[in-house]
Amino acid sequence: MEYERTESVGDRLELLRAYGYGLCMGTADALPGVSGGTVALLLGFYGRLIAAVTAFTPRRAVTILGGYRPERRTRAREALLELDLGFLLPLGVGMATAIVLIADIVSSLAESHPIAMFGFFAGLIAASAITLGRNLTFTTPEHAGAAIAGAGLALMVAADLVTLPGSGPVVIVIAGAIAVSAMILPGVSGSLILILLGQYIFLSNELSAFVHAVSDLVGGGSLAAVIDPGTTVVLFVAGGVVGLLSIARIVRAAMARRRELTLVFLVSLIAGSVPAPLTNISESHAWTTETIALTAAWAVVGAIALFGLEYLVGGFEPE
């Protein structure tokens, strides 16, 4: 009996640890600076995360769904264990908790203090590009080409020269696929991708509205208020699942085959994204001397915050 109790306590501690990991990873991914993948590397569970994510395959899903038949239950149980759900579920809940909390804060600050928030984000992005770029070499024409392609693509998106067609469900699914894939890549933040795609504030507002509507519904609120933002959340999550099963695998394969070249492209993409948050400021403020000075000051604060975090953890590595 004592052994069972000790084992139970150990299981609970493991769940709590995974939930804590999720909180850290979700916080990083909700802010356009350090990525959740980098946090996973720093905390030592990146290998387990990738193994669990890549364990999701159509064949394994069919095996699990076939578990309703008695003769297939053993294999279905084995497939479930291979997915490492005891780790992924509390990790995912922790990430969702952090993202929901930060989305609410972002929605509020985007309206009340856009200069401070987006200036801070610009500083975070610039500092993360510097910290990650220190570990890379640009010694060949291929490296130069990858750097130009990454930075150029980000700059064109930030300048609205390259945009997604429309702003409906398809865009939300695409944004979810790309952003969630980025969440598990060291160096690239999912929220950075959303800023580049012009979806960050919209999705933060929708998530915040959905959470508040669900809370109100429990207290007797309207179901109609849940449906609209809830549809956006479902579409984004659906895109994220597609991204994890496709885009994330493609990038991981590129990392395995041409690691240095892929990292140069990704870090250059981050560097080219620095102006992206500034477009949100220009929507509500003219670029006066005061606006520029305040934005620069908050960018410095963001850069100092990231450099300070880098110092505390002993440096960031893109992979």
In the numeric block, the tokens 């899903």 are attached to 61
Q: Report H helices in the chain.
A: 2-30, 36-43, 46-54, 58-65, 73-82, 85-112, 114-133, 141-158, 169-183, 190-196, 200-218, 224-245, 247-257, 259-272, 278-282, 289-313
- 131, 253 contact by CB (below 8 A): no
Which pair of tokens denotes residue 211?
């959470």
| pLDDT (tens digit per residue) in 176-190 | 988 888 777 766 778
**CA–CA distance from 292 to each of 33, 99, 158 (Å)?**
21, 29, 18
Which pair of tokens denotes residue 39?
């946090």
Gyration radius from the chain CA atoms: 21
What gap in Å lies between CA 91 and CA 84, rounded to an integer?
11
What are the DSSP calls for 77-92, one per residue? Answer: HHHHHHTTHHHHHHHH
Cα–chain-centroid distance for residue 125?
14
Which pair of tokens denotes residue 280?
């949100």
What gap in Å lies between CA 203 and CA 32, rounded to an integer?
14
Q: Among 69, 37, 117, 93, which residue's Cα sits nearest to residue 280? A: 117
Cβ count within 10 A of residue 259:
12
| pLDDT (tens digit per residue) in 132-150 | 888 787 788 999 999 999 8
pLDDT of residue 269: 87
The domain locations on the chain are 2-313
- 225, 213 contact by CB (below 8 A): yes
pLDDT of residue 6: 44
- 201, 212 contact by CB (below 8 A): no
What gap in Å lies between CA 143 and CA 103, rounded to an integer?
36
pLDDT of residue 300: 97
Any residues with CB less than 8 A from the CB of 197 and at least 6 apart, and which? Answer: 157, 164, 171, 174, 175, 178, 179
Helix axis angle for 247-257 and 259-272, nearest 10°, is 120
**CA–CA distance from 81 to each of 36, 52, 77, 95, 309 (Å)?**
24, 10, 6, 21, 36
Which pair of tokens denotes residue 277?
């948050």
Q: Among 286, 154, 218, which residue's Cα sits nearest to residue 146? A: 154
Largest CA distance in the chain: 73
Any residues with CB less than 8 A from the CB of 243 and at least 6 apart, and which? Answer: 176, 177, 178, 179, 180, 181
Q: Which residues of the chain have pLDDT under 70?
A: 1-10, 34, 160-167, 186-187, 248, 313-319
